[in-house]
């Protein structure tokens, strides 16, 4: 049986779910002398997230990280569901889709490391940044040409919205 191209899944996506560290950030942590952990996010990823929310897509975040600044930033983009401290991501994933009555085949999930693996295995379109770990790349139907924190999120959102005729122009 011939495997489907990832592009065949784009028309069916209604929901985007993303990890934070290594996906919305490059995975680096800047540690201040007070122990605060600082992350850098890409403004173009932010634009795409806000545009997806404003276009009626479900957008959620599932991260093991617990940074309040990250939550404030994501909520400012209009993302209502931000799970932080989610060490068992699959549990939060199922909670989210059951609460919102979403089918797994309509979900694009982007993760970069082993904690994302269980969720990537059950979604319709598992994706990862170019610099994801080998195991995640091995099960992803789409590997962005962009690294985490450097436009990978924008890449997948833009592709879905363009195929569905909902992108900016």
Determine contact, residues 155/6, Cβ cutoff 8 Å.
Answer: no
- The model's pLDDT over 43-55, given as tens digits with 9 standing for 90+, comes to 999 999 999 999 9
Rounded to whole angstroms, the maximal C-alpha distance in the chain is 56
CA distances from 82 to 111, 124, 135, 139 (A): 15, 21, 25, 24
Phi and psi based region of residue 78 (left: phi greater than 0; alpha: psi -120 to 50; beta: remaining): left
Q: Is 60 exceeded by the pLDDT of residue 1?
A: no
Q: Is 80 exceeded by the pLDDT of residue 30?
A: yes
| Distance separating alpha carbons of residues 53 and 15, to the nearest angstrom | 10
Least confident of 30-44, 71-85, 135-149: 30-44
Domains and CATH numbers, the chain: 7-163 (3.40.50.1000)
Least confident of 34-38, 75-79, 147-151: 34-38
Looking at every residue in the chain, the average pLDDT score rounds to 95
- The model's pLDDT over 70-115, given as tens digits with 9 standing for 90+, comes to 999 999 999 999 999 999 999 999 999 999 999 999 999 999 999 9
pLDDT, residue 2, reads: 55
Q: Is 21 annotated as a binding residue?
A: yes
CA-angle at 89, arms to 13 and 8, nearest 5°: 20
Confidence label for 3 from pLDDT (cuts 50, 70 and 90)? low
Q: What is the dihedral of CA 11, 17, 22, 23, to 10 degrees?
A: 40
Q: Is 112 annotated as a binding residue?
A: yes
| Distance separating alpha carbons of residues 19 and 22, to the nearest angstrom | 8
């Amino acid at each position: 049986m011939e495997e489907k191209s990832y592009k065949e899944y784009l028309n069916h996506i209604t929901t985007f779910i993303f990890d934070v560290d290594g996906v919305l950030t490059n995975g680096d942590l800047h540690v201040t002398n007070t122990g605060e952990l600082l992350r850098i996010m890409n403004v173009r990823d932010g634009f795409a997230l806000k545009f997806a929310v404003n276009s009626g897509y479900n957008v959620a975040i599932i991260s093991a990280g617990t940074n309040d600044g990250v939550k404030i930033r994501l909520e400012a983009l209009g993302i209502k569901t931000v799970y932080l401290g989610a060490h068992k991501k699959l549990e939060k994933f199922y909670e989210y889709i059951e609460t919102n009555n979403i089918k797994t085949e309509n979900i694009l999930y982007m993760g970069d490391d082993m904690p994302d693996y269980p969720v990537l295995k059950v979604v319709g379109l598992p994706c990862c940044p170019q610099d994801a770990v080998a195991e995640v790349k091995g099960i992803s139907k789409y590997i962005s040409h962009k690294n985490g924190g450097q436009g990978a999120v924008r890449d997948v959102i833009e592709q879905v919205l363009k195929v569905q005729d909902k992108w900016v122009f």
